[in-house]
A and B are shown apart, each in its own frame.
Chain A
């Protein structure tokens, strides 16, 4: 059990800046994110797209913004818990007990939800009841490639993941079918060329303009049915299927925490961005209130205000004093400024 002043759900720009606002008040935080790195949508969806409305930064990218925020919070040596999401939430006395999907547990007076539109999850093929094959022989990522040795593997997708694994697994698999909805691929041309070479050698079959129609099997996935643009159906016997349809955002378990929701957003007050539960805050795109606009800069403001209330809850016996970073020696110490 990790004891901390605050658990931040979401490592996007607003979650990161929230670490800063807590940090200058002398509060420590742990950050949880379902991706494998910080940055959230900024890094996952549009790392190279210019952003023009960050105060005092006439132009930056999602990637540079993330990098700078990580630099800004470096003095606080925050611990990040990646590749997991918060699964369980329980209240005891005035404290929250948080459990992640990787079974990491926290005890904290404050939870700051900065989860954007939700956590990034693999997008699944649009087929009913495919959960029954998941983790048996249907996968959305590769953890142990040796599992595919001497197998007939069917790979869906046209991006880097699909093509990279086609090339890599062709070295050990018996046969690979690469299935994609159109003739063009998003993946790096070099990898596409490598895969096309493998097709000539008979290791890989390209099946383009096909989309998945049905997955069949008893206990495990044995046969897939795919449909061509022209309506033709094709059946393939498979040992394993890898589906690389990218990521999508889902609110996930947050929806079941008993918090007041409006559409897919959490309702908060605008004094400290607390939800209907004391000690649970929502900031950034995930929160809503009269006049809310989904801007990164609004999230920064929401983070600063929620941190004040977090201080009161984490340090009930201390007096909160507002200080500026320009003049406070306490803040300078916390930032390591000499």
Chain B
């Protein structure tokens, strides 16, 4: 059976979505497939548009995949970036990510 780590998406207005996402999918895909508003993913996951921007909860920042140069470049285009800003299409979920929390920005792009 595929493991389903639980991801919590917190919208800018505080609305919380707790979703079990199949491991191997990205945090972006988990949101899109489950209708979580606030992640647009215009380019469909090619790390080419910066409209799946999320803030990763501080305690999880070290536990997720490292940020690539191209993702850093693309984050230049995101709205109100912070130190914990990531593009959720680049964050592939694994078993160890069970319980991960991301906050969504006020708007995308």
Contact = CB atoms under 8 A, between A and B. Distances in A.
Interface of A: 41, 45-46, 49, 117, 123, 126, 157-159, 180-182, 184, 186, 211, 245-246, 248-249, 294
B48 A46 contact: yes
B43 A186 contact: no
Nearest to A295: B44
Contact of A248 (B49, B73, B76, B81): B49
Q: State the majority secondary structure of interface residues on A.
A: loop
Given A186-B73, A248-B77, A49 B51 contact: no
A248 B42 CA distance: 9
Top-3 shortest CB links A-B: A45-B48, A248-B109, A186-B73
Contacts of A181: 76, 81
A41 B77 CA distance: 16
Given A159-B76, A182-B76, 9 more contacts: A49-B46, A123-B77, A123-B109, A126-B80, A158-B76, A182-B72, A246-B50, A248-B42, A248-B77
Interface string B32-55: 000000000011101011110000
Given A181-B76, A182-B72, A294 B49 contact: no
15 contacts: A41-B43, A45-B46, A45-B48, A46-B46, A46-B48, A49-B48, A126-B79, A158-B76, A181-B76, A211-B80, A245-B77, A246-B76, A248-B49, A248-B51, A249-B42
Interface in B49-94: 49-51, 72-73, 76-77, 79-81
B44 to A, nearest CB: 7
Nearest to B73: A186
Contacts, number: 42
A74 B42 CA distance: 30
Q: State the majority secondary structure of interface residues on B.
A: loop
B85 to A, nearest CB: 10
Contacts of A157: 76
Given A126-B79, A248-B77, A184 B72 contact: yes
A246 B73 CA distance: 11
Contacts of A186: 73, 76
A211 B43 CA distance: 25
B109 A46 contact: no
A117 B48 contact: no
A45 B76 contact: no
A294 B44 CA distance: 9
A245 B76 contact: yes
Nearest to A229: B83
A126 B109 CA distance: 9
Contacts of B48: 41, 45-46, 49
A48 to B, nearest CB: 10
Nearest to B70: A186
Interface string B17-36: 00000000000000000000
B3 to A, nearest CB: 26
B73 A45 contact: no
Contacts of B81: 181, 211
